[in-house]
Amino acid sequence: MDRLLTPGGSLIHKIDLGDYGMFRSQGMHPLTFLTISEPIYKRMASDSGLPNRKRLGYYVERMKTLGYQTKIYVTSVLPGGYLQPPEEYVPGRFKNEARLVAAIRHQLAAEFKPLDDEELLIDGVLLVATKPL
C-alpha cells in the first residue's frame, strides 16, 4: 500500500487479527492459532488465505518506520467480540481478560509468548494513516 499511496495521501485498513474462525468456530481457544510453530503454520497457510498472525505491535512499528501519522481504532477484543463504535487505541485499556490469555500462554509459539496480554487480546483494528509528504 505504501508504494501505491502518494505523499500526503491517507489510507484506512481494517485488520482482522483473529483466526478467521479456523479454531474458535470448533469450540477451541480463540488463540489456538498462535500455538503453532512458524514453520508449520507457514506450510498450513501458504496459498490458503489463512491469517498471517501479525499482531497490533507489528502494524504500529511498521507505520512508525514509514513515518506515517497514524490513529488506530480497536474494532474487536477477545472474548467479547466487536466494539460498536470502535474505540481509539490507548495502551493498557484492553487488558481486562488476562485469565483468557493465562489459559493458553504456556502453549503459545515462541514468537507470541513474550507479548503482553493486551497485544494478544486485541482481535481487530482499523488503521487510519497519512503518508508523510
* Digit-coded pLDDT (tens) for 47-80: 777 778 999 999 999 999 999 999 999 999 998 8
On whether residue 107 sits in a domain, the answer given is yes
What pLDDT, in 10s, does the model give residues 108-125? 999 999 999 999 999 999
On whether residue 51 sits in a domain, the answer given is yes
Where do the DSSP E strands lie in the chain?
A: 10-16, 69-77, 81-88, 122-130
- Could you give the percent of the chain with pLDDT greater than 90? 69
Residue 33's domain comprises 10-130
Residue 37: predicted pLDDT: 92
On whether residue 4 sits in a domain, the answer given is no
- How many structural domains compose the chain? 1
Is the model's pLDDT at 97 over the cut of 80?
no
On whether residue 3 sits in a domain, the answer given is no
On whether residue 5 sits in a domain, the answer given is no
On whether residue 40 sits in a domain, the answer given is yes
The torsion angles phi and psi of 43, rounded to 5 degrees, stand at -65, -40
